[in-house]
Amino acid sequence: MKAASVAAAAAVLAGGVTAHRANHRQAHQGLFEKRGHNESEICVPGCTTIWTTITGSAGLYFPPTPTSTSVPVTTKPPATSSAAAIVPTPIPQVCPTPGTYTFPATTIVLTETTTVCGASTTEVPSGTHTLGGVTTVVETATTVVCPYATTKTEGGVVTSVIETTTYVCPSAGTYTIAPITTTVTESLATVAVPVVSTFVPGTYTAPAVVTTVTVTNTVVYCPFALSQAVPAPTVAAFTAAEVAPPAATPTTVAVVAAPSPSAAAPKKPSTAPLGVQAGNKWAMTYTPYGTVPGSGCKGPAEVMSDIKKIAAAGFTTIRVYSTDCDTLPNVGAAAEAAGVKLIIGIFIGNVGCDNASPDVAEQIAALKAWARWDLVELCVVGNEALFNGFCSVGQLKDLIEHTKAELGSAGYKGPYTTTDVVSAWVGNDVSSICGVIDVVACNAHAYFNAATPPSGAGAFVAGQLAIVEGVCGLPGYVMETGWPTQGNCIGVACPGEEQQKVALVSIKEALGEKAVFFSFTDDAWKKPGECGCEQHWGSAKVFGI
């Protein structure tokens, strides 16, 4: 707590929120230090593989987009694609001369999840950059067999390919396998880099297209869209368990007084409410990681089953944190099938959130390639990046603007925010961030306040949100809130299954229509943490899932 406005509550909060929050955040960060794509299929036991395309400068450029014109010309026959499409990646069609070309509809049916090498674009400054490769975290001496995306040049033609390599990790540590280093002299360049793309089973269709080109040897890309997903087993409807809190007893809940909105942060027009606001169960966090240590990522069928269960319990939105572990294709397809929306995210897990960060570029490229904006309700850039010291206020503001420009160019027109703990919002001059977001958001866990029992969780979280809403004068939402079932007592805040039920019902009744409940399942792969609680935030049982 840094701001003067919170000094009055510092004595109470020091025994709860601030004393335990750092450990809690480190455990959540560990989620993204173990990112992977079906590790069991590509890596021998004993290691966790992170599919990370580290983007940077390269000599690959997408061809120019064809320019439409109304000048009458003779209709040309369909151009010949450079290669037969066996997976639903955009088909490059070469138009050798100016004219109007007709490309017939194309349908591809995949019967199993297929991984191929594709390409994405990113902007990089001049200098030497590393791209491609796979970063792997191993816990012991291990031999890793992994596929990776790279490029090959034959006859002057550069193509993206997937290679397989065997790499010996001599001891525990983090290793980057098969990286490529290159240097660019331009001040800023838009480049294409090889990435690994995964497509879930289903029917993909590229519709018929009639286009007019005016430039010789124009290349037109005809993208596919998932028109019909492979149906998942029917999930029976679930009724959320409504758990009444115990008889009320006098409780004092310590919350920080809301500061006055900064004069440098003018109030924006009111933003339309997110989600379906008639109920009190808006959203739940979801990560497609296995619930057993070493089990890797969940497959499409298991993700589909999970998301349908969450939807059947009455939730309208799913929050995901990043793009790893096939989150976009798998969770996206499940969300569409279940009729729910997504809160997507750009996750920052390292100090210095530069716009040229390879990890940021990879996440943005993955979102642009996916581009199912009809499923997206909100984009969250950074999760506690200020609190953890990963970003300065200026860096985070620049990153949000960069993300808006990149995703906006790909068609996303929805709202943006960043989320952090209250101390980060009131302990910094965030007026510049207020100017580039549409709503404010906070992560508020009443368990870390020593003065809050489970029955007071709703009042505490609502008070925290009110503080953050006052900072920017914008409508606000809680991006994480929950209560653990196991761990240590922090003052009067004790974990337990019954305590969790009481706390979550309290939160649901107070502001469930504006809160994202953390989380769907327990996370057995995490470390227990100082509180002994980090593995035990799964809340599915409370909601009858």
Is residue 163 flagged as an active site residue? no
| Together in a domain, 287 and 223 | no
Question: Residue 224's domain spans which residues?
Answer: 39-229
Which of the four pLDDT bands, split at 50, 70 and 90, describes residue 30?
very low
pLDDT tens digits, one per residue of 394-447: 999 999 999 999 999 999 999 999 999 999 999 999 999 999 999 999 999 999
Residue at token pair 């790909």: 410
Residue 429 CB partners (closer than 8 Å, separation 6+): 262, 264, 393
- pLDDT band at residue 538, thresholds of 50, 70 and 90? very high
Q: Decide: residue 412, CB within 10 A, 0-12 exposed, 13-18 middle, 19+ buried.
A: buried
Residue 151 lies in a domain: yes
The answer to whether residue 111 sits within a structural domain is yes
208/288 same-domain check: no
pLDDT on residue 43: 25
Active-site option among 384, 406, 513, 534: 384
Q: What is the pLDDT of residue 78?
A: 55
Task: Tell whether 14 is covered by a domain.
Answer: no
Tokens (6 digits) for 431: 């007026």
Most trustworthy range by pLDDT among 117-131, 472-486, 522-536: 472-486
In a domain, residue 240? The reply is no
Where is the domain boundary, 167, 196, 229? 229
Report DSSP state, residue 409: H
286: confidence class by pLDDT, cuts 50, 70, 90: very high
Nearest to 66 by CA among 85, 94, 91: 94
Q: Average the pLDDT over each of 28-42, 220-234, 281-295, 394-408 and give the range with the smallest value.
A: 28-42
Q: Is 480 a catalytic residue?
A: yes
Which range has the worst mean pLDDT, 130-134, 322-326, 354-358, 448-452?
A: 130-134
**In one letter, which amino acid is 259?**
P
Q: Are residues 312 and 172 in the same domain?
A: no
Residues in the chain: 545
Q: What pLDDT digit, counting tens, does each position of 310-320 carry?
A: 999 999 999 99
Report pLDDT for 290.
Answer: 82
Q: What is the pLDDT of residue 75?
A: 46
Instruction: Tell me which of 35-39, 198-202, 376-380 is least confident.
Output: 35-39
- CATH number of domain containing 449: 3.20.20.80
| Whether residue 162 sits in one domain with residue 282 | no
Residues 217 and 346 in one domain: no
Number of domains in the chain: 2
534 domain residue, yes or no? yes
**Residue 192 CA neighbour count, 13 Å, CB half:** 13
332 and 202 belong to one structural domain = no
What does the pLDDT average to over 1-30?
A: 34
| Confidence (pLDDT) at 170 | 79
What does the pLDDT read at residue 158?
61
Instruction: Decide the pairing of beta strands 180-199 and 114-131.
Output: antiparallel
| 120 and 62 part of one domain | yes
Is 329 found in the same domain as 182? no
Residues with Cβ within 8 Å of residue 272, at least 6 apart in sequence:
none
- Regarding whether 122 and 64 lie in a shared domain, the answer is yes
Mean pLDDT of 135-159: 70
Residue 433 belongs to some domain of the structure:
yes
Q: Which pLDDT does position 193 carry in this prediction?
A: 61
Domain boundary among 211, 229, 247: 229
Q: Strand order in 47-50's β-sheet? A: 47-50, 134-138, 173-177
Scan for tokens 């000048």, then name that residue.
71
* Judgement on whether residues 43 and 137 belong to the same structural domain of the protein: yes
CA atoms of 441 and 422, how far apart (whole Å) = 9
Residue 152 shares a structural domain with residue 56: yes
3-state DSSP assignment of residue 333 = helix
Does pLDDT of 243 surpass 70?
A: no
Query: Does residue 22 fall inside a structural domain?
Result: no
| Residue 411 to residue 233: CA distance in whole angstroms | 33
Distance of CA 506 to the CA centre of its chain: 28
Split at pLDDT 50, 70, 90, the class of 33 is very low
262 inside domain: no
- pLDDT value of position 228: 61
List 362, 406, 480, 513, catalytic entry? 480
Query: With bands split at pLDDT 50, 70 and 90, how would you rate the model's confidence at 157?
Result: low
Where does a domain end: 229, 246, 261?
A: 229
Same domain, 137 and 282: no
